[in-house]
Structures are given as structure tokens and as C-alpha cells.
Amino acid sequence: MTSPIAYLSNADRLDRLFIDGEWTLPEPLTRTAVVDPSTEESVAEIALGSSADVDTAVAAARRAFAGWAATSAESRATLLDRVHALILERAEWFAQAISLEMGAAIGYARSAQVPLAAEHIRVARDNLATYPFLSHRGTTAILREPIGVCGLITPWNWPLYQITAKVGAALAAGCTIVLKPSELSPLSALLFAEVVQDAGIPPGVFNLLNGDGPGVGAALSAHPDVDMISLTGSTRAGVLVSQAAAPTVKRVALELGGKSPNVILPDTDLSRAIAPGVAAAFRNLGQSCSAPTRMIVPSQHLQEVERLACAAVAEMVVGDPRSEQSTHGPVANRAQFERVREMIAVGIAEGARLVCGGTGRPQGLDRGFYVRPTVFSEVDSQMRIAQEEIFGPVLCVIPYDTIDEAVAIANDTIYGLGAHVQGGDLETARSVAAQIRSGQVHINYPAWDPNAPFGGYKRSGNGREYGIEGMEEYLETKAVIGFQSA
């Protein structure tokens, strides 16, 4: 099978932007390297767009909007079905690209990164088929209409998954799109643009600009002909996007950082709760904004929790992401590598007790952005490692004495994206879940639900993605009073 890099290079995609249904060469041509985090070596160069390319892409999306918005829900659903089928058909290419560009273990790319991304398209298709775009309230008609041209800015940690979460919902709603994926993990985005093209999405409806934040991201956020910006990224990036968007009063949807708690209630079966909690915190090597990296545990069970957590870490195999034996690869880029190592050192300096892991690379790995899965115990909620998003495999175990104290610790954060609660008594778990200020709460490690709305309280953002609520972010509400006779 041809590698994604070889294919994209041979197809002359790496130097191109996808605008108005065509692969176009930006002028001037500026390139940036795509670095394999397992070797620290450049494996490709991609073209970066500019503010002028943003103007061209937005103009194409604006021209296409009226026609796309007027299409029937059935025709849009048919096209989304083609996109879904093509992602599954090309799943191995996507998995290889994601493993190469951001270091996901190939098994995880195949089992999670790609199939979960495809699910967002399926859900958008299915919800579109039954959504009431017209409803009645007495003699008034309530219309839900597409908001217009949408600028979508996606991150490097779940590159395809975050693209499909936004693109599927926006296309279902009848919006047109200019997508800026992360320039750090752009290969899967280029493959996705081909999927959209091959599925028959009309020209101008979907446009792709690789580029950096100061160049393409800022221009897209400020553009007067963009009706909405949807960003998944850091809280800092969310602030910048909001500031750039403010003068044009466009809608801004933000899915930002997190420091999610995992509350282990006193009646929890620790043998069934701790290992899955560690796995959830370290999925995608902790590079998930909703990863439950604060494990809040009863003081009397602290030593047993530590033992079980370290046993779970010992089962992890950090290594070459293309190896079938590796459960985890490197972190995605040098900046993140340095950040994780710095924060592990901060935890040690703050007096948290290091029970496994540490600052160095795992044994036998002397190059690549590899870090050791690390567990701290006896963490105080005011420590930096308990307050700041580390975005790596670092778990903070925080003891508590009462359930009220556990809830207070869970809420002691500027974030509010995700949370977990474990307990034998479901009513108690539900009560605790109701008191946690976050956009999602998972009780006893339920299966992932692509229809569950996802988004944050507090500085974790605003708006929701996934499911019906995700599509409604891209809709305006119009009331037509007197639509029916009294």
C-alpha cells in the first residue's frame, strides 16, 4: 500500500490549498515542515496559506452558500453518506497519516482516531434526516436556517476527529465552510479534502487552507464575510479568536481547555475503577482536552489507589507508534514535549509525591518526543499540576475526606469541560454528577456516545458540538409571526 506521504506528494497535494473545488497553488508559496514526533525528523513540507488566500476561499464559500443552503435535507444527507463511506474505505490511509503526523500508536489510530471521526459524519447524516427545520408555535412558524459561511479551526491532537465533528454538523445545517486545520498535523486534513471532493460536495461549499494562527486563523476570525467561527484549541487561542471576531459580531463557538476530575466515591470497587481511570486520563497520551487527569479519591484508600494506578501504568507500552506492540507513542510535537517534562518537574518541586514515571524519556528511547506516563499522589488542589492543563500523560491523585470536599475539589478549577464519577450506589453518583460544573459527566465509564452534546462551562468555552446540539450551533432561528391563520 502506498504511504500517505508518497500518495499526497505524487498527487501534488502538499503544495496546494483546496479552494472552490480546485487544488490551487498559493502565491507566494511558503512551506512549513511536517515533523514525525517519533524521530524528530521532517517527513514532508506543506504549503501555508495567507490572508489573501483567506479572502479567496471566503469569497468562494459566499458564492456557494445560497445554492447549498437551498438544497434539500435529503440531498445533503446523501452526500454526507458518501463522505462517511469514503472515510471508512480509506481508513488505513487516515490511520497511517495520523500516526505519522502526531504520533498516535497505529492501533489507537485504527481503533479510535479514525472510526470515531467517521461516526461524527454518520451522526450528522442521521440527525439531518429527521431534524425539524420548520416547526409551529400557535400561528407562528419557527424556522431554523443555516447561519452562513463558517470558519472552522481545528487542533493537532485529534486531527480528523475534530474536523469531522465540525464539518459534518456545518454541512448538515446547510452552511459553507473554510477549514483551517492545524499546520502541525495537516496530512489527514488533506486526505479529508479529497474525500469531500470525491464525494461530490459542490465547489465552494468546502474549502481547506493550511496555515498558522497568526496568518490564516486571525484573518479568518476577523473576516467580515465569515458569519461564524468554531475553534477547538487552547483557552489562549479562544481568547484571541474571540477578540478578532468581536468587531464583526459573528457567532463564536469555542471548545477549549480542561482539567477534568474523576471522583472515586467511597463505595467504589477500586479494582474495577482505577485502571480504567488511568487509561482514560492517558488515552491519546493525555492529549485530550477532556482527559480526567485529576483523580479525586478517599483518603483511606490512597495507598491502594496508588498501587493500582502504577500497575496500570506498568501495562502501557510507550514506543514506536507504527509498532503493533505499542499502546502509546510520543507526544505530538516539541513544544508539547517540553511542556510535559517541565510540568513533571514542577510537580516534583511543588512537593507532590511521584509514585511512578518522571521527567526523562522511557527506557530505551533516546530520541523522539517520548515521555514517561507519570502519576503524582498527595497532590494539593492549589498546586500548578492540579490547576494547569498539562496535555500529557500526567495524573494527579488528590485525596479527600468527605463527599462534599470531593465535589469542591472537582469544581476547584477555571475549567469545566468533562468529568467522571465512579460509585457503587447510582443515586449517590448521580447526585455528585449534578453538582459538578462541567459540560459532560460520565458515570462509571459508559460507552462513548456521539450524540451526547460536548462543550464547556467556564473557561472551557461556549457552545456545543456532537449530536443535535452540535448541528444547531450552525443554525439561526427565525420566527415568522402570522404564518398561519388564527
68, 175, 373 from 206: Cα distances, Å: 11, 9, 39
**Number of Cβ within a 10 Å radius of residue 388:** 16
74 catalytic? Reply is no
Distance between CA atoms of 235 and 237, rounded to whole angstroms? 5
DSSP 246: G
The amino acid that residue 27 corresponds to is E
Distance between CA atoms of 244 and 114, rounded to whole angstroms? 32
Grid cell for residue 140: 407562528
DSSP 376: E
Distance between CA atoms of 404 and 451, rounded to whole angstroms? 31
Q: Are 210 and 47 in contact (CB under 8 A)?
A: yes
DSSP 465: B
Distance between CA atoms of 389 and 112, rounded to whole angstroms? 23
478 burial type by CB count under 10 A (0-12 exposed, 13-18 middle, 19+ buried): exposed
Catalytic residue among 255, 306, 389, 465: 255
The number of residues making up the chain comes to 486
Closest CA to 464 of 336, 472, 343: 472
Distance between CA atoms of 252 and 258, rounded to whole angstroms? 19
Grid cell for residue 274: 482505577
Distance between CA atoms of 103 and 287, rounded to whole angstroms? 11
**What stretches of 20-124 adopt beta strand conformation (E)?**
22-24, 30-36, 41-48
Torsion over CA of 121, 123, 128 and 133, rounded to 10 degrees? Answer: -120
Closest CA to 296 of 321, 265, 268, 252: 265
Query: Hey, which residues are catalytic here?
Result: 255
